Amino acid sequence: MNLQTIIMMERLSVIGLGIFQEMLNLIQRANAGEIITDAELEEGTKRVKDSVERLSLAANETPDPG
Amino acid sequence: MLAELQTIDAGDVNLTQTMIMLGVVPMIIVQLFRAVLEYFWPAGPDGIKKPLFMLVGIGTAVLMFYLMAMTDWLVGGIIIGLTATGTYEFTKNMGGIVNKNGIKPPIGPAATLLLCFLVLTSGCISTQPNPRADLAASQKIFTATVDSLTALIQAGKFTADEKEQIVLLAKLGEDYLIQWEIAIKAGRDSPDIIQSLQVVLNKLIEYQILKGVEP
């Protein structure tokens, strides 16, 4: 297993734990009848845009495997 | 249409959209578990490994749903865990592990793109009775999926063609979520998910035809 794969697995673990925690929190809030505000939705959209931007950059900058 | 999609009636069990979306988590965990196991135990017999992966997938799903206090957590966890682990073949060797014979099996481009399509769209489905929480959940799942794909790209797991298609899918998903946010703020329902999925599927089929590969 090379270093790149280990780093990838570590990042996937962090992402997996993060989304689990965020979803748990969101479900608890939704079950409590809490309203999701416009500001939170805008923040979510900003995160989506930033994430896609990082993906595009990584796709352009990472050399092909081989 | 949305009300019909809200839950899937599996006999006496209701699988909610959140349960289905969270199926991505056991799928990733099974892959990680497999990568670690094959590293430390490369010659282990497949007869033991495959049921073990399935148990890990089911166990993870059941535990998650129990901790989230979901209705039908036990049977729901078993069904989702089983389904998520069933996609094992699609994600096979995504970690690029060399097998016991010293061969690194290739990742099929059709399977890889199908997986990317499934995980990216898993967050783009409006079915909850709380539209704002539903959009927020979709944004979070989508962001986590795109970040995961970024990690895979940076680890050199995709070819140039695959990267191009993944970026295209991600941009379509981003556009869809932006339209969804505008619709929610205006007090409307989400955009037509079926129409959006058709656009994405057509792009994938075009790609497969271009590559001369069976979809």
Nearest residue to B135 (alpha-carbon basis) of A30, A51, A12: A30
Instruction: Convert the pLDDT of each residue in A5-36 to its tens digit.
Output: 777 777 877 887 787 778 778 877 877 778 88
Confidence class for position A39, pLDDT limits 50, 70, 90: very high
The whole-angstrom separation of Cα A38 and Cα B141 is: 18
Count of C-beta atoms within a 10 Å radius of residue B174 = 21
Per the structure, how many domains does chain B have?
2
Task: Measure the CA dihedral A16/A22/A28/A33, to 10°.
Answer: -140
Same domain, B130 and B182: yes
Q: Domain limits at B146?
A: 107-215
Q: What pLDDT sits at residue A51? A: 94
DSSP letter string, B66-77: HHTT-TTHHHHH
Instruction: Convert the pLDDT of each residue in B175-202 to its tens digit.
Output: 888 888 888 888 876 666 666 666 666 7
Same domain, B127 and B97: no
Same domain, B67 and B116: no
Are A26 and B137 in contact (CB < 8 Å)? yes
Confidence class for position A47, pLDDT limits 50, 70, 90: very high
Instruction: Convert the pLDDT of each residue in B85-120 to its tens digit.
Output: 765 554 555 545 455 555 555 555 555 555 555 555
Same domain, B101 and B120: no
Query: Residue written as tokens 């994405």?
Result: B200
Same domain, B26 and B59: yes
Same domain, B139 and B65: no
Q: Above 90 in pLDDT, residue A64?
A: no
Q: Above 80 in pLDDT, residue B152?
A: yes
Provide residues of A within 8 Å CB-CB of chain B: 1, 4-5, 7-9, 11-13, 15-16, 18-20, 22-24, 26-27, 29-30, 35-36, 38, 40-42, 44-45, 47-49, 51-52, 54-56, 58-59, 62-65
Query: Chain B interface, mutation test: which of A5, A8, A24, A29, most B Cβ atoms within 10 Å?
Result: A8
Same domain, B112 and B99: no
Who has greater pLDDT, B98 or B144? B144
The whole-angstrom separation of Cα A29 and Cα A27 is: 5
Amino acid identity of residue B139, one-letter, is: Q
Confidence class for position B76, pLDDT limits 50, 70, 90: confident
The whole-angstrom separation of Cα B205 and Cα B211 is: 10
Nearest residue to B150 (alpha-carbon basis) of A34, A36, A3, A15: A15
Same domain, B93 and B151: no
The whole-angstrom separation of Cα B16 and Cα B9 is: 9
Residue pair B69/A23 in contact by the 8 Å Cβ criterion? no
Considering the entire predicted model, what is its pTM? 0.61
Q: Above 90 in pLDDT, residue B212?
A: no
Q: What pLDDT sits at residue B26? A: 81
Residue pair B122/A23 in contact by the 8 Å Cβ criterion? no
Residue pair B72/B61 in contact by the 8 Å Cβ criterion? no
Same domain, B38 and B85: yes
Q: What pLDDT sits at residue B129? A: 64
